[in-house]
Amino acid sequence: MLRTGQKHQRETSRQSWQLLVFSVGGRRLAVKTVDVSGISQWNESIPVAGRTPFVTAVVRQWQTVLPVFDLAASLHLTVQGSSPLCLKVRHPLGEMAMRIDEEIPVLHTFDPAALQTYQGDDLPAEGSYTNGLDEIPILSVSRLGSTV
């Protein structure tokens, strides 16, 4: 019986999602940790011209130059704090950087059975979950830059 309980517990934990909860302009959002490749201090970005929506700059991260997806601009928000962070995400077309608030992101374990349909239409989301009174959208990284 004890082994069965442990096996069930392991299977349940495999089915849960690990989320990184962060904020942009004071608004809380989440992203699956499998879509995150790192978090670091924000380096000044370099503006570039392009046709991809909300990708108007690049940022240098050590020896790598990454396109910047301006999530704050797409949500009509302003990143908060004097020391913003760089959230690097794995997009199907390559790694991207996003400038986020200086508030340290938090890891959260989420049961996908509690996934709700995101009620907003302001960002591409895989769904959302409720934390207290807040609806926290789970960002769909693969759809960033496409029409929402």
pLDDT in tens, 23-76: 999 999 999 999 999 999 998 999 998 777 778 899 998 888 999 999 999 999
pLDDT at position 132 is 81
pLDDT at position 131 is 83
| DSSP assignments along 115-147, one per residue | -B-----SS-EEEEEEETTEEEEEE-GGGTTS-
| CB-based burial, 117-143: b 16+ in 10 Å, e otherwise | ebeeeebbbbebbeeeeeebbbbbbee
CATH 2.40.50.180 fits 23-143, yes or no: yes
CA atoms within 13 A on the CB side of 44: 1
Window from 1-5, 22-26, 138-142 with minimum mean pLDDT: 1-5
pLDDT score of 80 more than 90: yes
Do the Cβ atoms of 124 and 143 come closer than 8 Å? yes
pLDDT score of 13 more than 60: no
For the chain, give the percent of residues with pLDDT over 70.
89
What residue ranges do the domains of the chain occupy? 23-143
- Tokens 């992101």 belong to 105
Query: Strand 55-61 relative to strand 64-69: parallel, antiparallel, unpaired?
Result: antiparallel
pLDDT at position 8 is 45
Q: Length of the chain, please? A: 148
